[in-house]
Amino acid sequence: MDARLGSNLALYAPAALAKTDPERLIGSHLGLVRRIAWHVHARVSTAIPVEDLVQIGMVALIESARAFEDRGHAAFATYASVRVRGAMIDNLRKSATLVRSAIRRRREFGIVSSRLSGQLGRPPTDAEMAEALEMTVEAYRTAADTTHALRYDSLDEVYSDHSEWFADDAPDAFDNLARNDLKRAVAAAIGVLPEREALVLQLYYVEELNLEEIGQTMNVGAARICQIKKAALDRLRAKLAGWDGI
């Protein structure tokens, strides 16, 4: 037992063990957070901005300062370093959208791109990258697409009434009215077709029978059914000549 504690049981009280000033601990360890953030950022520079890491670390530092109890076994800097670094790594793992193979490929492409940029004095084209990597241009572009992490944006930030991504492709009232009028016109035109032609269209388009099956149903050959079907469609086109797309 520690001699300092053995003669004074009051030192075992939680209040005595927690005699630390969170504000002082936070203020004196801000530099620690930035050092850890830059160290982590050096390994994942393309995954997250360093300032985001700093913010994550600051939250962890505040939580560490409030939870720390100085028992004389470990300095706060050691305790906070573990918590801060762990918070940053956890956030990266949760938000990671690339598998390890894609990360390695992105690093490889980055090295080749940097080398070519130094040689050419400009960013390399896809064709130049593909040649350096001994790939076809199509294969390079496909592989490059898989190295980009997903990006999540707020819907409020990216929404636009003029963007095709948010365009409503549902038919409007006018289109619905025109379609209903067309249906009635087609039904009326079919209604005046000869019975044999109307039956062929019914079996072919509604019942989805093929020409051979329709021929067996009507006891005629498939070639004759094809002729009847063509004649029926010609009559319909003539009657619906005023409709676009008919």
Answer whether 135's CB lies under 8 Å from 84's CB: no
How high is the pLDDT of residue 16?
41
Answer whether 88's CB lies under 8 Å from 57's CB: yes
Q: Which residues contact 126 (CB under 8 A, 6 or more apart)?
A: 137, 140, 141, 144
Q: For domain 9-95, which CATH number applies: 3.40.50.300, 1.10.3720.10, 3.50.50.60, 1.10.1740.10?
A: 1.10.1740.10
Q: Determine the straight-line distance between the first and last CA of the chain, rounded to whole angstroms.
A: 97
Query: What are the sequence ranges of the domains in the chain?
Result: 9-95, 100-151, 173-239
Cα-based distances in Å from 42 to 38, 45, 85, 102, 163: 6, 6, 13, 18, 37
**pLDDT tens digits, the chain, 246 residues: what are they?**
344 444 343 433 444 444 567 888 888 888 899 999 998 888 776 667 888 889 999 999 999 888 887 665 458 888 889 999 999 888 877 766 555 666 677 788 888 888 898 888 999 998 999 999 898 988 888 888 776 655 555 556 655 665 555 555 666 666 667 777 778 888 888 888 899 998 998 888 888 888 898 988 888 898 999 999 999 999 888 888 866 545
Considering only the top CATH level, what class is 100-151?
mainly alpha
Q: Which residues contact 129 (CB under 8 A, 6 or more apart)?
A: 109, 112, 113, 116, 140, 144
Yes or no: domain 173-239 corresponds to CATH 3.40.718.10: no
How high is the pLDDT of residue 7?
39
Cα 1 off chain centre by: 58
How high is the pLDDT of residue 55?
92
How high is the pLDDT of residue 25?
86
Answer whether 22's CB lies under 8 Å from 66's CB: yes
Answer whether 36's CB lies under 8 Å from 56's CB: no
How high is the pLDDT of residue 62?
92
Q: What whole-number distance in Å separates Cα of residue 46 and Cα of residue 101? A: 15
